[in-house]
């Protein structure tokens, strides 16, 4: 299973809902909901074309960084989940994306 399942069809790294970025960085350090997070690695395919040839690994993205300190799954700038969901459909900017796996710490 892919580390990052992505529904952001407008991202240059997306190929059939699988992320092929070398590294994904989920941002939103003080987020209180998933809508306050975003994928800092998003690149609009209208500007950057298709970037699904991950040169640092042999397939889909396997490196997930996270700066969302308010998330249950955040641990030392990494995500403890085996895989995450990134949402945003046909986003135009990275701020239109979100981590669908975000869960606010108690």
**What whole-number distance in Å separates Cα of residue 39 and Cα of residue 48?**
16
**What whole-number distance in Å separates Cα of residue 81 and Cα of residue 83?**
5
The whole-number pLDDT of residue 50 equals 72
**What whole-number distance in Å separates Cα of residue 50 and Cα of residue 27?**
23
For the chain, how many structural domains are there in total? 1
Q: Is pLDDT above 60 for 57?
A: no
Q: 19-23, 70-74, 75-79: which has the minimum mean pLDDT?
A: 19-23
CA 12, distance to chain mean position in Å, is 12
Task: Answer whether residue 23 is part of any domain.
Answer: yes
Task: Answer whether residue 106 is part of any domain.
Answer: no
- Reported as a single tens digit per residue, the pLDDT across 7-46 is 999 999 998 898 888 888 999 989 999 999 999 999 999 9
Q: In the structure encoding, which two tokens stand for residue 92, read together?
A: 């135009």
Q: Is pLDDT above 70 for 2?
A: no
Q: Where are the alpha helices (DSSP H) in 3-98?
A: 45-48
Q: Which of 13-17, 51-55, 92-96 has the highest mean pLDDT?
A: 92-96
Task: Answer whether residue 28 is part of any domain.
Answer: yes
Dihedral pair phi/psi, residue 13, rounded to 5°: -90, -10
Task: Answer whether residue 32 is part of any domain.
Answer: yes
Task: Answer whether residue 16 is part of any domain.
Answer: yes
């Amino acid at each position: 299973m892919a580390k990052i399942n992505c529904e952001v069809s407008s991202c240059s790294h997306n190929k059939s809902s699988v992320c092929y970025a070398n590294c994904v960085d989920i941002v939103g350090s003080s987020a209180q909901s998933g809508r306050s997070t975003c994928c800092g690695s998003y690149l609009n395919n209208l500007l950057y074309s298709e970037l699904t040839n991950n040169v640092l690994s042999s397939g889909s993205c396997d490196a997930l960084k996270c700066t969302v300190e308010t998330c249950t799954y955040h641990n030392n700038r990494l995500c403890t989940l085996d895989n995450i969901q990134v949402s945003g459909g046909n986003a135009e900017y990275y701020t239109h994306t979100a981590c669908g796996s975000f869960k606010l710490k108690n």
